[in-house]
Amino acid sequence: MVYSKLNVLHWHIVDEQSFPLEIPSYPKLSNGAYSYSEKYTINDAIHIVQYAEKRGVNVLAEIDVPGHAGSWGVGYPSLWPSATCQQPLDVSNDFTFKVIDGILSDFSKVFKFKFVHLGGDEVDTSCWTTTPRIKSWLVQHGMNESDAYRYFVLKAQKIAISHGYEIINW
């Protein structure tokens, strides 16, 4: 009977304060971990997923974008709107989406569950309108903050789908 139920471990891997998983495509992301000793290697993640799968548990990985991502810029400061306005992730920077693509590419080799969680909650987009270059990008693209948020979420979803995932957002 227990195996007829869907058992899921929702692993909220990264958050505002810490990026503890080493990502081969972008190794400096884990510079945002609480400390050097508080990191997971890809092999650690593989072991956790295998351990769970042997017990009938799927591991749902979550990266929370575009908010809750202050830790991302510790290793890659260009992901921040500015040094003083560190989240949400920079919607105007193509590098932001290349990093998300790299993370999800690496995830797809570890997290075999068909779903990935992209977060999307509690996003204060004011940095996008108070950072001059992002404000200019918004004007250039005819977007307000809500449009930019929708653009970000849909682009992140498209990236996840390209890696074979189905999407969950808050």
Per-residue model confidence as pLDDT tens digits over 126-154: 999 999 999 999 999 999 999 999 999 99
Q: Is 95 among the domain residues?
A: yes
pTM for this predicted structure: 0.94
Q: For residue 4, is pLDDT > 60?
A: no
74-82: long-range pairs with CB below 8 Å, 24+: 74/19, 74/28, 74/31, 74/32, 75/19, 75/26, 75/27, 75/28, 75/29, 75/30, 75/31, 75/32, 76/26, 76/28, 76/29, 81/127, 81/128, 81/131, 81/134, 82/127, 82/131
Q: Is 2 among the domain residues?
A: no
Q: Is 1 among the domain residues?
A: no
Helix intervals (H) in 94-144: 94-108, 126-130, 132-140
Q: Which residue has the tokens 């950072």?
A: 131
Indicate the SS3 state at residue 59: strand
- Note down the domain range covering 151: 7-168
Token pair recorded at residue 109: 């080799």
d(CA 78, CA 74): 9
Per-residue model confidence as pLDDT tens digits over 30-42: 999 999 999 999 9
Q: Is 122 among the domain residues?
A: yes
Per-residue model confidence as pLDDT tens digits over 53-112: 999 999 999 999 999 989 999 999 999 999 999 999 999 999 999 999 999 999 999 999
What CA–CA distances, in Å, run from 65 to 54, 56, 135? Answer: 30, 28, 19
**Annotated catalytic sites, by residue?**
122
User: What's the total number of domains in the chain?
Assistant: 1
Q: Is 83 among the domain residues?
A: yes
Q: Is 127 among the domain residues?
A: yes
Identify the pLDDT of residue 5.
57
Identify the pLDDT of residue 3.
53
Q: For residue 44, is pLDDT > 60?
A: yes
**CATH code of the domain covering residue 152:** 3.20.20.80
Q: Which residue has the tokens 């510790």?
A: 74
